[in-house]
Chains A and B, each alone.
Chain A
């Protein structure tokens, strides 16, 4: 079945440094979503990417969807302590298959 892998599993950065998490699917995706889960909280939707090669920005966050629609990345510029949490990608296979979540990347930001 479809698998979605995320790397790294964990990253610790100093405030102001950049951060990137990568997501790779075993199959072609119809869309990919990103969620953020704060410590002690629940996943909250950030964005959805649909088109091949799509790039979207939300303030300091940049999301990319690969040309082959099998991988994606989330880049945070100049991290802040409020960015702490676990970031999940979630991919939906072609043909309305169910959403499969990645394993998540836990980000820790030190002031």
Chain B
């Protein structure tokens, strides 16, 4: 069964802290994505990666960075957390080929920045 896991379901951090959100998929997918979900705004793409050590900016990359050292793992980094980064963060993955374009999501991390 396809599985995407995220390191924490809930996280509380203070303004200015460096925050790491980890995502692991066991499906050997090439593509991985980080979204944030806010009420009324849907899912907005922060960064994505289509291969190890590759990364591309999404629609709202400011204040975030990412790391993909291994195929199965995609990390989202908040260099200096701010209160406007309080949100639900969702990781997703999908394969590069095979016809189906669906994304498989992890359970999400609800981050609160105080």
Given contacts A9-B40, A88-B43, contact A98 B90 (CB under 8 A): no
Is A48 touching B101 in the complex (CB atoms < 8 A)? yes
Q: Does B103 contact A (CB under 8 A)?
A: yes
- Report the minimum CB–CB distance from A98 to chain B (whole Å): 6
Is A103 touching B102 in the complex (CB atoms < 8 A)? no
Q: Does A16 contact B (CB under 8 A)?
A: no
Q: Does B74 contact A (CB under 8 A)?
A: no
- Bound-complex Cα distance A99 to B105 (A): 14
Which bracket fits the contact residues of A? Answer: 20 to 34
From A38-46, A51-59, A61-69, A73-81, the one touching the partner chain is A38-46
Given the complex, which residues of B lie within 8 Å of A101, measured CB to CB? 35, 42-45
Q: Is the interface of B mostly helix, strand, loop or mixed?
A: loop
Is A42 touching B42 in the complex (CB atoms < 8 A)? no
Give the one of B35, B42, B48, B102 with max A CB within 10 A.
Answer: B42
Given the complex, which residues of B lie within 8 Å of A42, measured CB to CB? 90, 105-108
- Report the minimum CB–CB distance from A71 to chain B (whole Å): 16
- Bound-complex Cα distance A90 to B105 (A): 14
Q: Does A104 contact B (CB under 8 A)?
A: yes
Q: Which of B55-114 contact A (CB under 8 A)?
A: 58-59, 90, 100-108
- Bound-complex Cα distance A40 to B59 (A): 25
Give the one of A6, A31, A41, A43 with max B CB within 10 A.
Answer: A43
Given the complex, which residues of A lie within 8 Å of B48, measured CB to CB? 98
Q: Does A24 contact B (CB under 8 A)?
A: no
Q: Does A70 contact B (CB under 8 A)?
A: no
Closest 4 interchain pairs by CB? A45-B102, A101-B43, A103-B42, A42-B105
